[in-house]
Chain A
Amino acid sequence: MAAPDSIYGLFPGPAAADLGLNALRDAGVAREKIVVMSAEPFEEYEFAHMGSSVAMYRIAACGGIAGGALGFLLARFVQTAYPFPLITGGMPLVAPWPTGIVTYELTMLSAIVTTVITLLITTGLPNWRKGKIYDDEVSSGMVLIGIVDPSVGARADLEDRLRRAGAAKIKGTGRFARGG
């Protein structure tokens, strides 16, 4: 699969990347068309807050509750599933202490599993397809700020803005690839 059309700048640091982001905004580029990539999280900078938020804590809690309910039902079923009448000497057939332990462990396990699944689904991982916007220099410390599917006419202006904002390199993919 071919890479989408894009122009991007590689910025040597987060402060420059923030300026690059502002330069694109000033040019009227829509938020959803801007791509940002970095080799580490830069919570202190504006470009690091481009992603939408997801209520991961609540989803994890819901997963935990569901897992806990499942754990309770499993523990209850296991204790009542003997093929013979179990004599408990007047004690409850479903013992609260072991049932509580199994319920607790499965609550936590489900919360953990739900968190992992939420992470993978909301970030689109795994994503092994080729032809996406990425540059190996990101892992060397560069911050990538780019525009997906820009109009051909705006190319020179966008490249100029990225360069003036401090981009060390300007690159492109698809139609905007160098030599393409």
Chain B
Amino acid sequence: MQKTPEQINEDLLRPLQGTGNVYRVVLAFFVCVVIVAGYAFGHQIDNGIGVAGIRRPVFWGFYITNFVFWIGLSHAGTLISAILRLCNATWRRPVTRCAEVITVFALSIGAAFPVIHLGRPWVAFWLFPYPSERGIWPNIRSPLLWDFFAINTYLMGSVTFLLLPMIPDFALVRDRAVGFRKKIYSALSLGWSGTPKQWHRLETAMHIMAIAVIPVAVSVHSIVSWDFAMAPVPMWHSTIFAPYFVCGAIFSGIAALIIAMALLRKFLHLEEYLLPIHFENLGKLLLVMSLLWVYFVASERLTAWYGNEPAEMTVFWLTQRGSFSPLFWTMVFCNFILPFPILAIKKLRTITGCVIASIGVVIGMWLERFLIIVPSLSRKYLPYSWATSAYRPTWVEITITAGTFAAMVMLYMLFSKFIPIISVWELKAGQHPVAAEEYARFADGQTRLADELERSEAGAE
């Protein structure tokens, strides 16, 4: 049954109105994990980057793995939301904001990792192209500087893509809030009143943003892939890397979105809004991406194997049957063997099934990022530079990694407490009956109203 605007307001604004003890306890737990991670980072600043497990020649370990993973995960939101918006997929409406929030937080967390990875993070601004007193500009030929431009553009685009449709919802909360909350939401709503001009401009702006954000999202992960592919390192220097990374990013992004939606559905009681059909549709997308991912992995591996180039084969066998093989086969299991049957068989493609597949994919995609980075660096072209011992992450890296996952959950929880996690106005707009039906329904009521007015006027006379 279709809900009235008032019922929709009631349901979707409920999470903003009260906070239970379970919420507080869970939030406190994640805040504690973030604080511990902050302590670990402080320890690293105090004692130097040597407290991390990165050693010559493996200078990129957990931190850069996390960087690539989080940037990839950020493709859940804005890209998927923009594609669905442009395709005018009506089922997207309850999903878009859940997705866009993931992008903004994941991108912010991901962008923090190059800074965490720096030995001296307080001089991170030296990487920025600004007219310094030293008269030195960063080397624009470095893919790391391309990252700077790409990630900032995507972050800016994603933040505005998230914020613009939130303005009418802030106005909605403003009209129901009192006291200090009313002041806050009044400021956030920018004085939105819902005139046709405002609606028209907002929708046009969202359309333009959707068009602009898709190529930006593709460029971001292409550029992240070029951090690797532009370097003459075995198994990195490959033309397939950009589409391979973009595919993996969307893959992990959809998985993260499914997990987030399932948690929101359960804990915010959004069962009537986040329907099984949403999970089913996203599950199908995840299935397609799983197949694409396995195609890319097979293409990459087959080309390396058939080429039989010694340096590449060293890394190849290290991952296929060497010390990294348990991780490699776990990755294949998580990214393909587990999700494929669950998502391919309709009976298994339930909400629970989609969540199990998605958890597998998120784990698998993190392992994939790790396996791209570490094995190649430990077996570069010249054997004298090979790592004499395997890379082992220290407690600092593990704690900071755990802290970023906790930070993601914490930020998501806080967001859903202050802002409607489903775009209220977009949901209502998706429920509009056909205008002709509405006119007919209204005309019926109008005839009765006119009769009443006539009767009351006759009575007055």
Cβ-defined partner of A98 (8 Å) among B140, B157, B194: B140
Closest 6 A/B residue pairs (Cβ):
A51-B197, A141-B5, A127-B191, A15-B442, A126-B190, A41-B199
- Residue numbers in A under 8 Å from B197 (CB-CB): 50-52, 122-123
Known: A40-B425, A102-B140. A112 touches B157 (CB 8 A): yes
> Counting CB contacts under 8 A, is A109 at the interface?
yes
Q: Are A56 and B205 in contact (CB under 8 A)?
A: yes
> Counting CB contacts under 8 A, is A22 at the interface?
no
Q: Are B429 and A108 in contact (CB under 8 A)?
A: no
> Counting CB contacts under 8 A, is B381 at the interface?
no
- Residue numbers in B under 8 Å from A36 (CB-CB): 195-196
Q: How far is the CB of B323 from chain A (nearest CB, A)?
A: 36
Q: How far is the CB of B387 from chain A (nearest CB, A)?
A: 31
Q: Are B201 and A119 in contact (CB under 8 A)?
A: yes
> Counting CB contacts under 8 A, is A6 at the interface?
no
> Counting CB contacts under 8 A, is B171 at the interface?
yes
Cβ-defined partner of B191 (8 Å) among A16, A75, A128: A128
Known: A39-B194, A40-B425, A113-B156. A51 touches B140 (CB 8 A): no
Q: Mark B168-179, 1 if CB is under 8 A from A, else 0.
A: 100110011000
Cβ-defined partner of B439 (8 Å) among A15, A38, A74, A119: A15
- Residue numbers in A under 8 Å from B198 (CB-CB): 51, 123, 125
Cα(A48)–Cα(B167), bound, Å: 18
Which residues from chain A sit less than 8 Å from chain B, CB to CB?
13-16, 18-19, 35-45, 47-54, 56-57, 60, 64, 74-75, 78-79, 81-83, 95, 98-99, 101-102, 104-106, 108-109, 111-113, 115-116, 118-120, 122-123, 125-129, 132-134, 136, 138-141, 163-164, 166
Chain B: CB-nearest residue to A56: B204
Chain B facing A: main interface SS: helix
Cα(A50)–Cα(B223), bound, Å: 44
Q: Are B209 and A44 in contact (CB under 8 A)?
A: no
Known: A78-B140, A81-B137, A98-B141. A60 touches B208 (CB 8 A): yes
Q: How many residues of B sit at the interface, in one of the four size bands?
A: 35 or more
How many Cβ-Cβ contacts under 8 Å join chain A to chain B?
Answer: 206
Which of B175, B187, B198, B208 has the most A CB atoms < 10 Å from its CB?
B208
Cα(A111)–Cα(B207), bound, Å: 12
Known: A82-B137, A105-B219. A139 touches B200 (CB 8 A): no
Q: How far is the CB of B78 from chain A (nearest CB, A)?
A: 11
Cβ-defined partner of A56 (8 Å) among B150, B167, B201, B450: B201
Q: How far is the CB of A163 from chain B (nearest CB, A)?
A: 8
Cα(A78)–Cα(B193), bound, Å: 45
Cα(A128)–Cα(B186), bound, Å: 8
Q: Are A112 and B156 in contact (CB under 8 A)?
A: yes
Chain A facing B: main interface SS: helix
Known: A78-B137, A108-B216. A125 touches B157 (CB 8 A): no
Which of A51, A52, A53, A105 has the most B CB atoms < 10 Å from its CB?
A105
Q: How far is the CB of A175 from chain B (nearest CB, A)?
A: 21
- Residue numbers in A under 8 Å from B135 (CB-CB): 81, 83
Cα(A101)–Cα(B216), bound, Å: 11
A-B contact pairs, 6 of them (CB 8 A): A13-B442, A38-B196, A41-B199, A101-B150, A105-B149, A133-B193
Cα(A54)–Cα(B196), bound, Å: 13
Q: Are A138 and B219 in contact (CB under 8 A)?
A: no
Q: Are A127 and B190 in contact (CB under 8 A)?
A: yes
In B175-229, which residues have CB < 8 Å from any A CB?
175-176, 186-187, 190-205, 208-209, 212-213, 215-216, 219, 223
Q: Are A39 and B168 in contact (CB under 8 A)?
A: yes
Q: Are A15 and B129 in contact (CB under 8 A)?
A: no
Q: Are B202 and A119 in contact (CB under 8 A)?
A: yes
Q: Are B195 and A35 in contact (CB under 8 A)?
A: yes
> Counting CB contacts under 8 A, is B16 at the interface?
no
Cα(A33)–Cα(B326), bound, Å: 72
Cα(A125)–Cα(B190), bound, Å: 6
Q: How far is the CB of A110 from chain B (nearest CB, A)?
A: 9
- Residue numbers in A under 8 Å from B428 (CB-CB): 39-40, 141
> Counting CB contacts under 8 A, is B453 at the interface?
yes
- Residue numbers in B under 8 Å from A74 (CB-CB): 129
In B408-461, which residues have CB < 8 Å from any A CB?
425, 428-429, 432, 434-435, 438-439, 441-443, 445-446, 449-450, 453
Q: Are A166 and B140 in contact (CB under 8 A)?
A: no
- Residue numbers in B under 8 Å from A104 (CB-CB): 219
- Residue numbers in A under 8 Å from B172 (CB-CB): 39, 139
Known: A78-B138, A125-B190. A98 touches B146 (CB 8 A): yes
Chain A: CB-nearest residue to B223: A101
Q: Are A48 and B212 in contact (CB under 8 A)?
A: no
- Residue numbers in A under 8 Å from B5 (CB-CB): 39-40, 140-141
Q: Are B449 and A45 in contact (CB under 8 A)?
A: no
- Residue numbers in B under 8 Å from A105 (CB-CB): 146, 149-150, 153, 216, 219
> Counting CB contacts under 8 A, is B308 at the interface?
no
Known: A53-B200, A128-B190. 4 other contacts (CB 8 A): A14-B435, A45-B435, A83-B135, A106-B149
Cβ-defined partner of B438 (8 Å) among A15, A122, A127, A166: A15
